[in-house]
Amino acid sequence: MKNIYKYVIILLVLTFVVPTESQAQCKNFAKKVCKLKLLPFVHDGIYNATILSEGETAELFKTFYSGQEYRISICGAEELPPVQFQVLDADRNVLYDNMNEDYSPSWDFKLEASQQLIISIQVLTSDELNDDILSGCVSVLVGFMNVEDSFDQY
């Protein structure tokens, strides 16, 4: 009976430790690889990254403020098929879809009114016939144009 408890405890520890380790690796991927794609925009300091498989989707809700210039950058692991992302308003009207831009990894924009937007991402399904479902890290980073830097240009 003690052996059963021992195995249950080991299984529980592995259940919580392994995903945490892979999420940490994914966050490091976002910091080291994806953050550079925001330049010359300043990163907002929040690393939104997770592991997704082909066909999986995720959504991120984020508030954006009027008059500020933003860049949304989507970055996926090399082994993944293209990542489609859409930016939707609160009523789920599509404001931007990177499918119309040959799956561009970023979008620069400026809003006339402050609002919460939804960033919806989907890892497309690979065209290759494969027994394994591809999965990897996908990151959504947001940057803003530093107003002070833009004044320095004049």
| Domain edges within the chain | 2-152
What pLDDT does 18 receive?
A: 41
Rg (CA), the chain: 19
The whole-angstrom separation of Cα 137 and Cα 4 is 35
- Over the stretch 102-141, which tens digit does the pLDDT of each residue have? 999 999 999 999 999 999 999 999 776 667 888 999 999 9
Q: What is the rounded average pLDDT of the residues 8-12? A: 44
What residues contact 61, with CB distance under 8 A and at least 6 apart?
A: 116, 117, 118, 119
pLDDT band, residue 2 (cuts 50/70/90): low
Q: Considering only residues 33 and 127, tell me which one the structure prediction assigns the higher pLDDT.
A: 33
Residue 75 pLDDT > 60: yes
Residue 20 pLDDT > 50: no
Residue 6 pLDDT > 70: no
Question: What are phi and psi for residue 46, nearest 5 degrees?
Answer: -105, 125
Strand partners, 97: 86
pLDDT band, residue 68 (cuts 50/70/90): very high
CATH of domain 2-152: 2.60.120.380
Residue 22 pLDDT > 80: no
Task: State how far the alpha carbon of 29 is from the alpha carbons of 24, 47, 74, 76, 115, in Å.
Answer: 9, 10, 12, 9, 29
Task: State how far the alpha carbon of 86 is from the alpha carbons of 9, 57, 72, 103, 117, in Å.
Answer: 42, 11, 10, 10, 10
Task: State how far the alpha carbon of 148 is from the alpha carbons of 39, 67, 114, 153, in Å.
Answer: 15, 14, 20, 9
Q: Considering only residues 92 and 22, tell me which one the structure prediction assigns the higher pLDDT.
A: 92
What pLDDT does 12 receive?
A: 41
The whole-angstrom separation of Cα 109 and Cα 54 is 28
Q: What is the rounded average pLDDT of the residues 3-25? A: 50
pTM: 0.78
63 in helix, strand or coil? strand
What pLDDT does 1 receive?
A: 60
Say which DSSP state 79 is in.
T
